[in-house]
C-alpha cells in the first residue's frame, strides 16, 4: 500500500519536473505568518492587501472548477480557495499534482466564505517541497510509544498537543535564563569531553580522541569545571547543557539529559535555599500562569514557604530506621536485607542509605519541599555542618516523589576535598562504578582558593515533566535514546499507520495549552 502511494507521488513529481518547475526551490517570498493574518484579518481584508503565505498542505479537496485547501505553518492554519476561472485552466490543472503533506507558497487576497470561514483567495501557487510519503489521515499519536519517539517528526506534524508541549518547554527554559540573567548571572559553557568525570555519582560513557590518542569521558555533571571558573574570579555563573550517564532508563531517567547548574560566590546553602524557592515559583508562574500545578492524582502547591525536612528524621519516620545507629557498610546491608531491598554489594554505606531513602521515603514526599541535613557519606562535594560534622550543608528540592534540585555549600577546603576523593577512589576500587574519581587538577585549582560558594543543579527534563503533567520523561525530549528493533523498517512502519487508518486510541497525557 505504501509503495503504491509513494510511487503515485513520484509520478506527480516527475510531471512537475517535466513542466520545467523545480519541486524543491530554495527561495520563498512569504510576507506574513498565518497567525499574523488571522489576528489582523479585518485590517488586511479592508485594505484588500495581497498576501504571500507558505506552509504544509493539511487538506485539499476539489469540486470541479473550485478547490479548497488548508495550509499550516508553525503559527496556525488557514483555508485557501482556488477558482479555475480566476487563475486559468493551465495553472488550475497543476493543482492535481499536489498532495496533503506538500509545502506550497500562495499569493492572494482575503475574504470570508458564506459560512464565515476566513479564507485566502489564491491567484498564484508555487510548490516548495513535494512530499513522497503520505501522512496518516487522522493522527492522535500511536499505541506504540517507541515508534512515536523514533518518528517524533510525524508526532509533531500530526499532534498539536505534543507540539504545544515542546513550545511550552522552550518557554520554560527561556524563563529560566531570564530569571538568572535578571539576577546578574553570566551564562557560560564548559567542556563535554573530560579526562576525569566528576560532580556526581554516576557511571560515565567513554570515548576516544584519535589525534591525542587518549580516552575521554562524556561529562556526568557540569560542576567541577564551573567551580574552576569560580576559582578564576567569576561570582555568579550558570550553564544549561547536556550531561551523560551510563545508567538505567526509566520514566524519570535519561542517559542523555539537560542539566542546569548555577553557582553563587559568598553565599551558603541557606541563602541559596531562599533564592531557589523564589526562582522556582517565579519561573513556574511565568510559564504556567499559576502556582497550583496538576500532576497525576495530585495538585502541587508551590506557594512559599516550602517545608524543610530533616533527612534522618524523615527516614526514621517513614522506614523505622535510625541511620545514625548503623555506622558501617555491613550494618546498612543488614538493614536493607531486613527491608527486602535488593543490595548492591559493591556500594558503600552512603549509597546504601540512599537506596533505603529512595525506596521507602522519597515516593511519599509529594508537595514541594526542601530535604536538608544529608549524611556526609552521600555528599562528597558538600561542606560539613558546623554543629554536626557527620552532616552536610546540602538541600534537595523534592516534588511529586522525585528529586528536582540539588544544592550545597560547596566544599572549598582542598585538603578535605582530597580526602573525600580518596574515600571515593577506595569505593571505586572495591567495584562501585558510580563512585567519583580523584581529580588532581580540580584539587589543585582549589588550592589556589575558591571563595565561599553555594551551588545548585537540576535536571530540566525531569522538572518540566512534572510541571507539564507528563508520566514519562521521554515525552519531554524530542529524540530520546531508543533500543534499535531487530527488524526496523521505516516505510513498513508508516504502512502500519495507514492500515490502521489513524483511528488508533493513544496513551497520551493532557495537552499543554
Reading the block at residue 376, the C-alpha cell is 556526609
Task: Give yes or no for a contact between 258 and 166, defined as CB atoms under 8 angstroms apart.
Answer: no
- Averaged over 105-126, what is the pLDDT? 96
* Fold of domain 2-129: OB fold (Dihydrolipoamide Acetyltransferase, E2P) (2.40.50)
Direct distance between the N- and C-terminal alpha carbons of the chain, in angstroms, rounded to an integer: 36
The secondary structure of 156-185 as a DSSP string is HHH-HHHHHHHHHHHHHHHHHHHHHHHTT-
What pLDDT was estimated at residue 275? 98
43-101: pLDDT as tens digits: 999 999 899 999 999 999 999 999 999 999 999 999 999 999 999 999 999 999 999 99
Residues 194 and 180: their CA atoms lie apart, in Å, by: 26
Q: If pLDDT is split at 50, 70 and 90, which confidence band does 137 have? A: low
Query: What is the rounded CA–CA span in Å between residue 333 and residue 157?
Result: 51
- Domain extents for the chain? 2-129, 220-458
Looking at residue 512, its pLDDT comes to 45
Residues contacting residue 382 through CB under 8 Å, at least 6 positions apart: 269, 374, 392, 393, 394, 408, 409, 410, 411
**pLDDT tens profile 400-444:** 999 999 999 999 999 999 998 998 888 888 888 788 889 999 999
Say which residue, 281 or 345, is predicted with more confidence. Answer: 281
Contact 454, 268 (CB under 8 A): yes
Question: For 7-26, how does the pLDDT look when each residue is reduced to its tens digit (9 = 90+)?
Answer: 999 999 999 999 999 999 99
Closest CA to 126 of 157, 82, 86: 82
Checking phi first, is residue 59 left (phi over 0); if not, alpha (psi -120 to 50) or beta? beta
CA distance 307 to 304: 9
- The residues, ordered by sequence, that sit 6+ positions from 267 with a Cβ below 8 Å of its Cβ are 275, 452, 453, 454
What is the model's pLDDT at position 436?
86
Cα distance between residue 37 and residue 45, in whole Å: 9
pLDDT computed for residue 75 by the predictor: 95
- Residue 127 pairs in a beta bridge with 104
Label residue 486 by pLDDT band (50, 70, 90). low
Mean pLDDT of 311-331: 95
- pLDDT > 50? residue 385: yes
pLDDT band, very low/low/confident/very high, at 138 (cuts 50, 70, 90): low
- Three cell numbers at 323? 541511620
| DSSP letter (8 states) at residue 46 | H
* Inter-axis angle of helices 160-182 and 460-467, nearest 10: 120
C-alpha cell at 368: 514541594
Rounded distance between C-alpha atoms, residue 10 and residue 128, angstroms: 15
Proportion of the chain above pLDDT 90, given as a percent:
77
**pLDDT surpassing 60 at residue 493:** no
- pLDDT of 484 > 50? The answer is yes
Is pLDDT above 80 for 483? no
Q: What is the pTM of this model?
A: 0.88
The DSSP secondary structure of 437-476, one letter per residue, reads PP-HHHHHHHHT---SEEEEEEEHHHHHHHHTT-S-GGGG
Mean pLDDT of 259-274: 98
Q: Is the pLDDT of residue 501 over 50?
A: no
pLDDT, mean over the chain: 90
Higher pLDDT, 150 or 240: 240
Give the chain's length.
Answer: 513
Fold of 220-458: BirA Bifunctional Protein; domain 2 (3.30.930)
Task: Assess whether the previous peptide bond of 144 is cis (omega < 30° from 0).
Answer: no
Q: What are phi and psi of 345, to 5 degrees?
A: -65, -20
Cell of 185: 548571572
Q: Residue 499 above 70 pLDDT? A: no
Q: 400: phi > 0 → left, psi -120 to 50 → alpha, else beta; which?
A: left
Above 90 in pLDDT, residue 144? no
Residues in CB range of 502: below 8 A, 6 or more apart: 136, 137, 138, 139, 140
Assigned C-alpha cell, 298: 495530585
Residue 312 and residue 317: Cα distance in Å, rounded? 9
Residue 319 scores a pLDDT above 90: yes
Mean pLDDT for 196-200 is 86
Q: Are 5 and 13 in contact (CB under 8 A)?
A: no
For 212-228, write each residue's pLDDT tens digit. 999 999 999 999 999 99
> How does residue 147 score in pLDDT terms, banded at 50, 70 and 90?
confident
328 burial via Cβ count (<10 Å: 0-12, 13-18, 19+): exposed
Amino acid at each position: 500500500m505504501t509503495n503504491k502511494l509513494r510511487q503515485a507521488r513520484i509520478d506527480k513529481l516527475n510531471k512537475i519536473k517535466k513542466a520545467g518547475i523545480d519541486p524543491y526551490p530554495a527561495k520563498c517570498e512569504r510576507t506574513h505568518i498565518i497567525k499574523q493574518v488571522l489576528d489582523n484579518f479585518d485590517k488586511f481584508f479592508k485594505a484588500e492587501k495581497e498576501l504571500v503565505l507558505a506552509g504544509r498542505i493539511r487538506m485539499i479537496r476539489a469540486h470541479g472548477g473550485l478547490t479548497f485547501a488548508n495550509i499550516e505553518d508553525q503559527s496556525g492554519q488557514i483555508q485557501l480557495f482556488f477558482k479555475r476561472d480566476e487563475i486559468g485552466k493551465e495553472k488550475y490543472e497543476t493543482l492535481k499534482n499536489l498532495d496533503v503533506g506538500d509545502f506550497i507558497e500562495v499569493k492572494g487576497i482575503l475574504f470570508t466564505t458564506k459560512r464565515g470561514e476566513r479564507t485566502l483567495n489564491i491567484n498564484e501557487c508555487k510548490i516548495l517541497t513535494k512530499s513522497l510519503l503520505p501522512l496518516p489521515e487522522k493522527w492522535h499519536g500511536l499505541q506504540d510509544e517507541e515508534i512515536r519517539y523514533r518518528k517524533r517528526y510525524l508526532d509533531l506534524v500530526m499532534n498539536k498537543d505534543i507540539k504545544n508541549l515542546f513550545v511550552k518547554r522552550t518557554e520554560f527554559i527561556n524563563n529560566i535564563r531570564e530569571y538568572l540573567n535578571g539576577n546578574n548571572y553570566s551564562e557560560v559553557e564548559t567542556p563535554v569531553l573530560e579526562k576525569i568525570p566528576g560532580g556526581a555519582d554516576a557511571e560515565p560513557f567513554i570515548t576516544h580522541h584519535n589525534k591525542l590518542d587518549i580516552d575521554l569521558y562524556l561529562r556526568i555533571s557540569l560542576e567541577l569545571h564551573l567551580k574552576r571558573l569560580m576559582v578564576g574570579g567569576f561570582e555568579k555563573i550558570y550553564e544549561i547543557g547536556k550531561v551523560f550517564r551510563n545508567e538505567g532508563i526509566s520514566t524519570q531517567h535519561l542517559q542523555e539529559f539537560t542539566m542546569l547548574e548555577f553557582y553563587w560566590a559568598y553565599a551558603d546553602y541557606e541563602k541559596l535555599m531562599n533564592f531557589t524557592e523564589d526562582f522556582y515559583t517565579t519561573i513556574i508562574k511565568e510559564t504556567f500562569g499559576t502556582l497550583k500545578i496538576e500532576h497525576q492524582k495530585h495538585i502541587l502547591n508551590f506557594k512559599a514557604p516550602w517545608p524543610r525536612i530533616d533527612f534522618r528524621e524523615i527516614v526514621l519516620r517513614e522506614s523505622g530506621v535510625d541511620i545514625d545507629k548503623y555506622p558501617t557498610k555491613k550494618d546498612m546491608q543488614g538493614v536493607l536485607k531486613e527491608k527486602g531491598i535488593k543490595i548492591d554489594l559493591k556500594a558503600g554505606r552512603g549509597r546504601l542509605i540512599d537506596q533505603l531513602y529512595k525506596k521507602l521515603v522519597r515516593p511519599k514526599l509529594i508537595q514541594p519541599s526542601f530535604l536538608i541535613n544529608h549524611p556526609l557519606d552521600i555528599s562528597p562535594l558538600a561542606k560539613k555542618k558546623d554543629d554536626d560534622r557527620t552532616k552536610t550543608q546540602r538541600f534537595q528540592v523534592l516534588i511529586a516523589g522525585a528529586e528536582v534540585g540539588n544544592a550545597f555549600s560547596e566544599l572549598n577546603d582542598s585538603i578535605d576535598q582530597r580526602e573525600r576523593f580518596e574515600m571515593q577512589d577506595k569505593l571505586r576500587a572495591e567495584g562501585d562504578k558510580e563512585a567519583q574519581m580523584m581529580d588532581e587538577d580540580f584539587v589543585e585549582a582549589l588550592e589556589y582558593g575558591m571563595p565561599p560558594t553555594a551551588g545548585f543543579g537540576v535536571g530540566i527534563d525531569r522538572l518540566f515533566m512534572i510541571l507539564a503533567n507528563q508520566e514519562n520523561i521521554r515525552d519531554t525530549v524530542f529524540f530520546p535514546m531508543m533500543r534499535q528493533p531487530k527488524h526496523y523498517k521505516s516505510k513498513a512502519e508508516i504502512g502500519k499507520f495507514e492500515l490502521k487508518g489513524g483511528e488508533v486510541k493513544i496513551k497520551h497525557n493532557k495537552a499543554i495549552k
